Structure 1
Amino acid sequence: MAITDPDYPVPSRLTTDEFVLRPIRPTDALADFEAVMETREHLRLWEQSAWPADDFTVEGNRDDLVGLEERHDAHYAYTYTVVDPAGAEALGCVYVFPTGAKFLARSEVTPLGDERWSDVEAVVYLWVRRSRMDAGLDARLLPALRSWFADEWKLSRVVFVTNERFEQQVALIERTDLRRRFELREPGKAGTYLVYG
């Protein structure tokens, strides 16, 4: 069953001693905005865009989160906020897409071996706020996500994506047993996205 099937049992939560993942909502706008703006230089590398602009606002972020909530609830794609156990501080975000997501369908995907893009069950992007990145949170989030997708989502063919220019995240992933399976180029974006599985 595809993750976009309305009957697919999408997990609502991942809880560890250090963080909680749950679907992002418009009520998260202020906390998420603070994390986004703290991390904006890294996010611009990750996105290969000018987002977030220096004049980005909480209201603009709330508008974005309305769209993410609608997409999540409609089973098109899923966005989770990463928060501290008390739920007071936003620590980052995790995005889960099917390979058929519009931006992926428009992208050029190059296999680096015998694997087929059509066999991928979920495409995952993640980021953590700069101060928590400095403290190694992303290095602990990634294995927690891998276990979550295997155990709760019941998926075995999940890939993790970053941009080659986001060197810190590339290095993080390459310190694991994940291997580069595909390269992906989005129209109008500089740099190549590296896809690990």
Structure 2
Amino acid sequence: MRLENVEPPGGLTTDEFVLRPILATDAELDYAAVMESRDYLRTWEQSSWPADDFTVAANREDLEKLERRHADRQAFTYTVMDPAGMECLGCVYLMPTDARSFAGARITPVGGDHRWDDYAAAVYFWVRRSRLATQTDRLLLDTLRSWLARDWSLGGHIFVTNEQFTQQVELIRHTDLELRFEIEEPDKPGRYLAYA
């Protein structure tokens, strides 16, 4: 199953946060979360994004693309907002496992005969730096796991992070998720780790 055949849920509301499709109009709130968290997002992304001179206007352009890709079912992006909708707490991305970024990567199964094409989506997420101390990232991961199992028709999905983003790697290691793949992209120094 590919993402174009998936009907994405409209979102999810819990006592702690609201997940909903990201919109270009979220640019200012998203920008505040991105820039607060830029040091570790660079590690997570394995890139120089976001640059110190990144602007709200540039962020709006990025969100316009994400909103369009969501509508076209090429990939799904959800913003994580506080219940009042006044603060962006982070972001969740569901990418198809046949995305271009994976096509040029070396993907190595770990500890078994796992097949990459058994999984329809790679799930990435981040939480703004000021919310890490309150374990919002753990709460988000737990919520995503139940939401994906209950409300999505994805079939197989994996959670992906970068080995150099040690805080998130440790978070995932303290669950029952198991490392299934190591992903090496030719232009990035750190490996990505995929768990299911």
TM-score in terms of structure 1 length? 0.96
**How much identity, in percent, do the aligned residues show?**
58
Q: Give the Å deviation of 1:63.
A: 0.5
Match in the other structure for 2:36: 38
Is contact 1:25-1:66 (8 Å) kept?
Answer: yes
* Whole-angstrom CA distance in 2 between matches of 1:106 and 1:25: 29
Give runs of aligned pairs for residues 1-197 of structure 1, distance below 5 A: 1-5=1-5, 8-112=6-110, 113-197=112-196
**Distance in structure 1 (CA, Å) of the matches to 2:10 and 2:105:** 29
Q: CA deviation at 1:84?
A: 0.5
Aligned residues: 195
Q: Is the 8 A contact 1:149 1:156 kept in 2?
A: no
The 2-side partners of 1:133 and 1:50 are apart by 22
- Structure 1 residues without counterparts, runs of 5 or longer: none
The aligned amino acid for 1:142 is L
Is the Cα–Cα contact under 8 Å of residues 12 and 22 in structure 1 kept in the other structure? Answer: yes
Q: Distance in 2 between matches of 1:17 and 1:192?
A: 35
Aligned counterparts of 1:104 and 1:134: Cα–Cα separation in 2: 32
SS of structure 2 residue aligned to 1:134: coil
Provide, for residues 93-122 of structure 1, a one-character-per-residue CA deviation record: whole Å limited to 9, x for no partner: 000011111112221111112110010121
RMSD (Å) for aligned C-alpha atoms: 1.0
Deviations 1:128-163 (A, max 9, x none): 000011210000000100111110003442110110
> Could you list the runs of 5+ residues in structure 2 that have no partner in the other structure?
none
Aligned with 2:97: secondary structure? coil
Deviation at 1:11, TM superposition (A): 0.7
Could you tell me how far 1:3 is from its partner in structure 2? 2.2
Structure 1 position 187, deviation (Å): 2.2
Q: Distance in 1 between matches of 2:4 and 2:108?
A: 24
Query: Post-superposition shift, 1:12?
Result: 1.2
Runs of 4+ in 1 over 6 A off after TM superposition: none
Distance in 2, Cα, partners of 1:156 & 1:9: 12
The answer as to whether partners of 1:4 and 1:98 remain within 8 angstroms in 2 is no
Which amino acid is the alignment partner of residue 116 of structure 2?
W
Residues in 1 aligned to 2:114 and 2:43: alpha-carbon distance in whole angstroms: 27
